[in-house]
Amino acid sequence: MGTSRPAPCPRAGRDARDPGNPVEETGVNAGWNAGSGIWRGQLRARVPTPLTSAPSELRLTARALEPAPGFPAPSRWSCAAESLGLSFSSSDVGLLITVAITRRNVALLLSPTESIYSSSSPALLCTLPNMCRLHPCWSCCCLLLVSSLGVQGVPKDPSAAPEQIHLSYPGEPGSMTVTWTTWVPTRSEVQFGVQLSGPLPLRAQGTLSPFVDGGFLRRKLYIHRVTLRGLLPGIQYVYRCGSSRGWSRRFRFKALKNGPNWSPRLAVFGDLGVDNPKALPRLRRDAQRGMYDAVLHVGDFAYDMDQDNARVGDEFMRLIEPVAASLPYMTCPGNHEERYNFSNYKARFSMPGNNEGLWYSWDLGPAHIISFSTEVYFFLHYGRHLVERQFHWLETDLQKANKNRATRPWIITMGHRPMYCSNADLDDCTWHESKVRKGLFGRLFGLEDLFYKYGVDLQFWAHEHSYERLWPIYNYQVFNGSQAMPYTNPRGPVHIITGSAGCEERLTRFTLFPRPWSAVRVKEYGYTRLHILNGTHLHLQQVSDDQDGKIVDDVWVVRPLLNRMMYL
C-alpha cells in the first residue's frame, strides 16, 4: 500500500573530524514480535569511497506500552531520519527515542502532540505527524534504541527518569530490593501499596551509587537501591520508583512467602543476550501469568554488558525489565562479565551478602540456594586469594546449611561453568580434570569433593549453549538410586546445564556420542523450570522454545528427609 512521502530531510554532511565518511544511503530490515512486545530490526548504512573506516551494522529495538496520559491516540504518526534511513510509525504509543552516535549523542523525545527535543543538536527539528529533519553531520556507526515513556507521561527531565528497573531478594524475610538507573543524581525513593489503582501510601528511601564504566568514554550511570521491608508474605504489591524529577510506571510483584512450608517455582537459565534472546518472550509471558516466584540467571548477560561503552548493558537491563521488575532476578557472574573486574555485573545487580554478588546464599521455601563464581578459577589476575576466600566461604555456608537441614532439606547451587559436559568444544568442562571440578593445579580448592562431602542435591550450570541433564554423578561414576528410578534416593548430586536461553553465539554442538554419565541432551533454545514441591520432592522440566514451549525433559528428584548430608 502506497503512502505519501513528506519533504525529504537534507543529506548528512561530512563530519569535520571524519571527512571521508559522509552517509549516503541506508536501508531498514525489521519485524514485530507480538508475543514479546519487542520490535527488532537491522539498519544498515552505506558510505561512498574512499572509506576511512568500515561501515557498521546498526541495531534497533522498541517496546510498545500504553499511550502517555493526556495524549490522544493518533491515527498515524511517524518520525524518520532520512540521513540515517530510519522510519518508525505507531498508532498508539508515545515514545522516547535515543540515537547514540559514535561521535556525538542526540536525544529525541517524541509524543503525538509535541515537537522534537534535542539534548545536543540545535539543528534537529520535527513536528508530528510530519517527518524529522536531521541537519547535523553524522558518522556512519550508531546504535538506536526506542523505549516507551510508560504511564507516567513525558518526564520533566528525561535523564532523571528511572529505567532498567529490577528486583532482587536481599535474604531478609518480608523484604525486596528495587534497583534502577538514572543518568543524573536524584533521590532514591519507592512508593508502594497493595491497591492496583489510586495513591501508593507507603514510602521507602535508599541509596545512590555512581558507576563509571571502564570503557573509552567513561560513561557515568547512577544506580539506585531501595529495600522494602515489612512486606506481608504472599501479598501482591504495586510500586513505582524514582523521585520528584521523574517516576517509573507502576509495576507489581508478590512478596515471597516466609518459612519452609510452601512450594516455590523458579525459572532457571544462563547465557541470555541482547541479540537472539530466544527464550525471553516466553519467559515474559510465563512471568505475566504468575508462573514463577523467582528467576535464577546462571551467568553471562547481554554479550556483553561492557560493550559499546556499556550501552549494551543498558539495553539488556531494559530488555529484561518486564520480567525482572516483577520477580526477584537472582544472578551469578559468568565469563562474559569479566571486563574491568566484573564492574558492570557488580554495579548493576543487588544480591545478598557483602561479596558484591560474586558469591552469596539465601533461603527459599524448603531450599537453601547458593550462588558462587566459577570465574575466580580462570581470571587469576584479579587475585588468587579470591579462589581460597570463596572456597572457605562455601564450606562454612554448607556447614551451616547442613545444621539447618531438618528445616530446609534441599541444598541447590548455581555457578556458570560446569564440572562436566559432553559438548563438542574445548571448554573447561570437556577436560577430565576441569578446574571447577578439581581446582587449581588439579588439587587446590576443587568443588566436586566439597559439594559431595556436604550432600549438595542439585547443581545448576550454564556456559554451554545447550541443555544437558546428567545421571547422579561423582568422580565420573554414575550413582543412580536404582535402575528403574535413578533420581529416587540418588547416591550423588544431580547436574543440570541450562545455557540455551539465546545469545549472539547461537547453540553449542554436542559430541556425536553421549558420555556414559549423560542422561539427556537437547540442542534447542529454551530454559528450565524448577518446582520445589516439598522437602523430599523436586520437579525439573526443560522448555523448548524451538518447539513452541514443548516440555522436552521432565524428571522428579526424590531424597529422604533423614541422613541428607551423606550420599550412601
pLDDT tens-digit readout, 296-314: 999 999 999 999 999 999 9
Closest CA to 263 of 532, 566, 75: 532
Q: How many Cβ atoms sit within 10 Å of the Cβ of residue 192?
A: 23
Do the Cβ atoms of 330 and 363 come closer than 8 Å? Answer: no
pLDDT given for residue 563 in this prediction: 81
Cα 387 to chain center, whole Å? 25
pLDDT over 90 percentage in the chain? 70
pLDDT digits (tens, 9 = 90+) for 187-201: 999 999 999 999 999
Contacts of 63 (CB under 8 A, 6+ apart): 37, 38, 39, 146, 147, 148, 318, 322
Q: How many Cβ atoms sit within 10 Å of the Cβ of residue 230?
A: 9
Rg of the Cα trace of the chain? 25
pLDDT given for residue 156 in this prediction: 52
Contacts of 31 (CB under 8 A, 6+ apart): 39, 40, 41
Cα–Cα dist 105/256, whole Å:
42
Q: Which residue has the cell 520535527?
A: 126
pLDDT given for residue 564 in this prediction: 84
Cα–Cα dist 488/92, whole Å:
54
Task: Tell me how long the chain is.
Answer: 568
Cα 352 to chain center, whole Å? 17
Amino acid at 80: A
Cα–Cα dist 545/525, whole Å:
5
DSSP, res 123: T
Residues of the chain with pLDDT under 50: 1-155
pTM of the model: 0.75
